[in-house]
Chain A
Amino acid sequence: MPHFLASHNISAAQIHNDYQRRLQDAQQQEQQNAQNAAQNGGDAEDSEDDPVEQKKRKRKEEKTLMKIKQSKEFKKRKFEQQQDLGSDFEQDDDELARSMLKKSQPLPGQLENCEICGKRFTVTPYSKTGPDGGLLCTKCSKELKDEEKKESRDNKKKTAAPRGRRRQTESDRLMGDVKPGAKSLVDICVRRVANVVHDIEEFGDMPQSLLDRLSQILSKERVLTPRVLELFLRPDVDRIDIYDCAKLEEEDFQKIFAHMPDVEFVNLRFAGQMKDGPLLYMADKCKRVRHLQLGATNLVTDKAWADMFQKLGPQLESLKLSELNDSLGDDIVKVLVKSCRGLRRLKLRSCSHMGEDSVDALCSLTNLEHLTLAVAQQETSSATLVKLISSLGHNLRTLCLEEYVELNDSVLEAIKESCHKLTKLRIRGSVICSDAAFASLFDNNLGNPPLIYADLSDNRDIDSMNPDGPEDNPIGLGSGALKALMTHSGSRLERLNLKACRHISHAGLMEVFDGVKQYPALKDIDLSFVTQVDDVVMNGIFKTCPALAKLAVFACFNARQARIPAGIAVVGLPNAQDSVVIGEW
């Protein structure tokens, strides 16, 4: 080795000498710098000697000061200093800049002593600045960098958790859950069970209410597979509720009815792969079915429906069918009406083959207490609806008529005359009913009881040439009707939906929600697209409805700044994240 080094003109002595020389150079340089500084000071004193030179130097200094003042580092330090000393302490910019100038750093390539360990090192562009503004050697720079990294990682960890949480909080808000404090243990556990459902062998003797909740969560997450379905099949339980059957196939439906011969409540939605076989098997084997709800069962033929109605019809107490686009025409509805004489609850929604004849046929189901119809909208005349209501009205406790464009004042009049037991009313999407007719529906001449649920959404004029509607006889649910409704039902009303009833005036809203009247039971209000809603109205609502839990104000662009009392979920504000200030009054 020494030979190799010698052959390349490298010797230890020379290296040592070089090192010593560099050290001396450095010391000399430092001394010289110090002397220069002293001389500069001296220069300043005998400034008369060379005014031009001095001016130049001064200009140069000002320039650098300006540069420093504009630099990020300067702003950062100023901010820190202000924080240390309190914001009202006025820091002299010049002083700070000058102090930084003193420490102004050597350029890359020069030598410098490390601020922390004191070792001499070559400055590179990567050299870090130490806590007092001096430069650090490579090793200390690295340590500082590592430390910073660690710190930022810790910070990230701290902020990441609430961010994920915020998503959950917003999701809960949309569901109307903003109660402070932890969720109930049952709720936490149900969610946890739903998360690990694939590892669970069986639910054991879980209570029905929890099974239902689990089914809801699993359906929402769309993980209700045939494997998960088996957890819900229990011969000792009398009901099956599956809200999303999209992943179940024909034999799975068969299995449900084979495992649960005593089932009384059947509720299968999005059951797209349910066919004639399972439906007729149910009609044959499950002799106790009393409540049947099926959604989107489009592979079931008319013949199977008719057979099923004939077999199970007499015992059915409630029947809810929805989203049927290929079957259930007028003929089958007539079979339904003939067979299911004991029906007390009937809901038919989006069954596209049902016509006006079907609505007419339903008039003879006089035992009905709850009726929801959202079918055959186009051709159903108001005369048929009036006939329906006058035949069934005296028993009805629930009446929902959705999207009947022909529904007019005479139908509202019929409701008023016939339905003396109503507690839930939904009239949605009428475009010709007048404000006066709605007001008269609730004027209470006939002693109708107060409503608990009122959904009168989408009742407005839709003439785009005349957005405010006719002046002499206002169309849609307006201020007059709102006032009449709240006077009539305010004492018991729990849910109120006035979405898109855009003719309600600001004065009308203020009169109803004046902050003095009290609607003690009102929990849930939807005023979306009622454009007159603003902060004042919202405050009025908060004061008028002590039990309020949820308020929807989508597209109410005047409502922005209202202070929202704790425990009320307000959804639909334009800047959802910022303005939701939840505080006490």
Chain B
Amino acid sequence: MAVSGTPSPSPFVTLVSSDGFEFHVRRSAACVSATIRRMLDLQSNFSEAQTGICHLENISGIVLEKVVEYFYFNEKYRNSEGVPDMDIPSELCLELLMAADYLIT
């Protein structure tokens, strides 16, 4: 990093839920979400891009945990065929749907 001169962004980002839970997620996984990708785009000059912390005020911790699970699930199966669907508890699915829609995931 120091050698190249321009500081390359940390490979991890922090996602904060509305109730204050923090998730440290690999950047490559979190960028599955187009919303987060744009938040973290260095050219955008958003504060999220500079600090690497995204406050997601409309997503609760319990839903965000599932979202993060999906981020890694998606990364794990990125190039494989016939991927099984991730298991989603039915009591979460509506909220998760709204969150997924917001995050464009």
Q: Which residues of A contact B (CB under 8 A)?
A: 161-162, 165-166, 168-169, 178, 180-186, 188-193, 195-196, 199-200, 203-204, 206-207, 210, 582
Contacts and interface: CB of A to CB of B under 8 A. Distances in A.
B97 A210 contact: yes
Main secondary structure, interface of A, reads helix
18 contacts: A165-B82, A168-B82, A181-B77, A182-B85, A185-B70, A185-B100, A185-B105, A186-B105, A190-B97, A191-B85, A192-B97, A193-B97, A196-B90, A196-B93, A199-B90, A204-B98, A206-B98, A210-B97
Interface residues of B, number: 25
Given A192-B88, A193-B93, A196-B93, A184 B80 contact: no
Interface string B48-86: 000000000000000000010010011001111111111
Contacts of B88: 188-189, 192
Given A162-B82, A196-B93, 5 more contacts: A181-B77, A185-B67, A192-B93, A195-B90, A196-B90
A64 B103 CA distance: 74
A298 B100 CA distance: 41
B84 A165 contact: yes
Nearest to A210: B101
* A-B pairs, 6 with minimum CB distance: A189-B97, A185-B100, A185-B105, A192-B93, A196-B90, A186-B100
Contacts of B101: 186, 207, 210
B102 to A, nearest CB: 9
Interface of B: 67, 70, 73-74, 77-86, 88, 90, 93-94, 96-98, 100-101, 103, 105
Contact of B83 (A181, A185, A190, A193): A181
Contact of B96 (A189, A199, A206): A189
A197 to B, nearest CB: 10
A188 B84 CA distance: 10
Contacts of A161: 84
Given A200-B94, A206-B98, A207-B101, A182 B73 contact: yes
Contacts of B86: 182, 185, 188
Contacts of A178: 81
B97 A169 contact: no
Contacts of A203: 94
Contacts of A210: 97, 101
A161 B82 CA distance: 11
A582 B83 contact: no
A186 B97 contact: yes
A203 B101 CA distance: 14
Contacts of B90: 192, 195-196, 199
A189 B82 contact: no
A186 B99 CA distance: 9
Contacts of A199: 90
A210 B84 CA distance: 22
Contacts of B77: 181-182
Contacts of A186: 97, 100-101, 105
A195 to B, nearest CB: 8
Contacts of A180: 78-81
A181 B81 CA distance: 6
Contacts of B80: 180-181
B81 A582 contact: yes
A228 to B, nearest CB: 14
B73 to A, nearest CB: 6
Most chain B CB neighbours (cut-off 10 Å) among A185, A190, A210, A582: A185
Contact of B79 (A169, A181, A183): A181
A180 B75 CA distance: 12
Given A185-B67, A185-B105, A192-B90, A166 B97 contact: no
Contacts of A195: 90
A188 B105 CA distance: 10
A199 B67 CA distance: 22
Nearest to A203: B94
Most chain B CB neighbours (cut-off 10 Å) among A186, A189, A207: A189
B34 to A, nearest CB: 10
A165 B83 CA distance: 8
A193 B94 contact: yes
